[in-house]
Structure 1
Amino acid sequence: MQRYFIPAGQLTDTEATITGEDAHHLIKVMRARAGETIICSDGEGREVLAEILTTDSGTVRAKVIEHLPLHAEPAVQVWIAQSLPKGDKLETVIQKGTEIGASRFIPFLSARTIVQYDERKEAKRVDRWRKIAKEAAEQAHRNKVPQIDSPLAWKKLLQAANEADAAFFCYEKPSGSQLRTAIREALEQAPRDKLKLMLIIGPEGGFTEQELQEAEAAGCRAVSLGARILRTETAGMVGLTCILYESGEMGG
């Protein structure tokens, strides 16, 4: 069954209204007709089963049949802070991370970031990242679309880390603890449904020693993802999966 995230103002207790690209997809691609059912979510805690009434003038109107329970979101909120990688690697991180269960993505710039940052161009890229997250959330039957932040400077990222209950700085050199140990200690300190964890992933060239020192001074904990060196677009997915497994979201 097709699932769509729509603005909160377009979903009432009795009716859902779908416009824009989603309406075009329903009408032109899916060939939706009156009487068919779809799932609509406002991404803020309401999700409904709805029956299509009309598909006129590029707008789909649907009658709410049933309010559905919300059960697809992990109790632990995991934020992936990803140093901007080359090419379209961040798109992969956002798409797959959304499918797995990340709740927020925070791109940032670090000393060894390779890509040239252009604020004017990044605004368009952020819009594309948000579209990718929305589509991935719909495909994965998420109840919410992850938050996608605009890229931050390194110092700003360390300030944002203070918003989390714990921030794990993934470092390939054997100076930190295993991620598993850090996760279990964090889970002991706060209830799962209130826990916010940040996973900080470096660029292709890794972090510098100075960045490690600055991260630890800001309260971040250096952790290892194992003996093998992972690509920057792989590390976040591995760390995210480990956190959700240890918190019981993946059969742990």
Structure 2
Amino acid sequence: MNLFFTPPDRVGEKELLIEGQESSHLVKVLRHRQGDLVQVTDGSGNLFQGSIISARSDSTRVTILSRETKQKRSPSITMCIGMIRKRDRLEYAVEKVTEIGADRIYLFHGDHSEKAGLRIDRLESAALSAMKQSLSCWLPVISHFKNLKQAVEQGDETAVLIAADETISGFDGCYSVTQSENFTLVVGPEGGLSEAERNYLKSRDAGFISLGANRLRTETAAAVMCDRFRNRC
């Protein structure tokens, strides 16, 4: 069954409302009608099973038959990703870390980042599509920062801070991946992390990890990094 999305403020005690493109897709593409059963998430961990009361291209009303609150994912993961100049590759990075299970996506302009435009609305759309495709009920928060320091300091101070670093082999740090419940993971832009950025991370007691012998593109590194810590491998 397809998964649909509606924001938390469109969910009531007995009914919920699906609007905009979600409703248009439900009616015009999937041809749902009154009485059809649908499943809907609010992106905040809640899953609703419901029956369509009325279906229009601009809005669809659904009676809530059941609701389930999913257990919060552990560990909690914040992905800090250096800006990528090509928009499609940045959207790919957001899509993949959403599918894998990032809770927050912080984009930052690194010292080695190339100048790039940013459309948060397109990235949010990519994340929404990935959440539904993966049948997840958690929609990551996407934020943009001027530099790495701002992105890291926006995160949880109790999080274990780990950065991907192609200049090392193995893991340089003193943290237990199996015991930690909160990670802030850093992947630099195409030019990698600068010496100043590495020194800043060291001042924050960050660990550094190699993602393998081959040099990875930023979007690939972000997916590998997220998967490694989401699945604690």
Same fold at TM > 0.5: yes
Partner of 1:143: 137
Partner of 1:154: 148
Partners of 1:27 and 1:58 within 8 A in 2: no
Q: 5+ residue gaps in structure 1? A: 247-251
Q: Is residue 2:178 matched to residue 1:187?
A: yes
Encode CA deviations 1:207-237: one digit per residue, 9 max, x unaligned.
1222211211123222222222211111111
1:66-215 pair list within 5 angstroms: 66-70=66-70, 74-87=73-86, 88-116=88-116, 122=118, 125-161=119-155, 163-174=157-168, 177-178=170-171, 185-188=176-179, 190=180, 195-215=181-201
TM-score, reference length from structure 1? 0.84
Partners of 2:171 and 2:207 within 8 A in 1: no
Partner Cα separation in structure 1 for residue 68 and residue 195 of structure 2: 49
Q: In structure 1, the residue corresponding to 2:23 is in which secondary structure?
A: helix
RMSD, aligned α-carbons: 2.1
Partner Cα separation in structure 2 for residue 30 and residue 144 of structure 1: 23
Partners of 2:27 and 2:57 within 8 A in 1: no
Partner of 2:51: 51
The share of aligned pairs that are identical, in percent, is 26
Partners of 2:152 and 2:184 within 8 A in 1: no
Cα offset, 1:68, TM superposition: 3.0
Encode CA deviations 1:37-69: one digit per residue, 9 max, x unaligned.
111122234321001111147221111112235
Q: In structure 2, the residue corresponding to 1:33 is in which secondary structure?
A: coil
Cα offset, 1:165, TM superposition: 1.3
Structure 1 segments, 4+ long, off by >4 Å, are none
Partner of 1:249: none
Encode CA deviations 1:6-36: one digit per residue, 9 max, x unaligned.
1212112311111111111111111111111
Partner Cα separation in structure 2 for residue 154 and residue 79 of structure 1: 13
TM-score, reference length from structure 2? 0.90
1:204-243 pair list within 5 angstroms: 204-243=190-229
Partner Cα separation in structure 2 for residue 215 and residue 136 of structure 1: 30
What code does the residue aligned with 2:133 have? Q
Partners of 1:20 and 1:58 within 8 A in 2: yes
What code does the residue aligned with 1:81 have? C
Partners of 1:133 and 1:146 within 8 A in 2: yes
Partner of 1:16: 16
Partner Cα separation in structure 2 for residue 98 and residue 211 of structure 1: 25
Q: In structure 2, the residue corresponding to 1:187 is in which secondary structure?
A: coil
Partner Cα separation in structure 2 for residue 23 and residue 7 of structure 1: 13
Q: Is residue 2:2 matched to residue 1:2?
A: yes
Encode CA deviations 1:118-176: one digit per residue, 9 max, x unaligned.
xxxx3xx11111111111101111111011012332331242355351111111112x7
**Alignment CA distance shift 1:245-1:212 (3 Å):** same
Partners of 1:16 and 1:40 within 8 A in 2: no
Q: In structure 1, the residue corresponding to 2:154 is in which secondary structure?
A: helix
With 143-152 and 160-169 compared, the bigger mean Cα shift is at: 160-169
1:239-250 pair list within 5 angstroms: 239-246=225-232
**Alignment CA distance shift 1:182-1:89 (3 Å):** farther
Q: Decide which structure has greater strand share.
A: 2
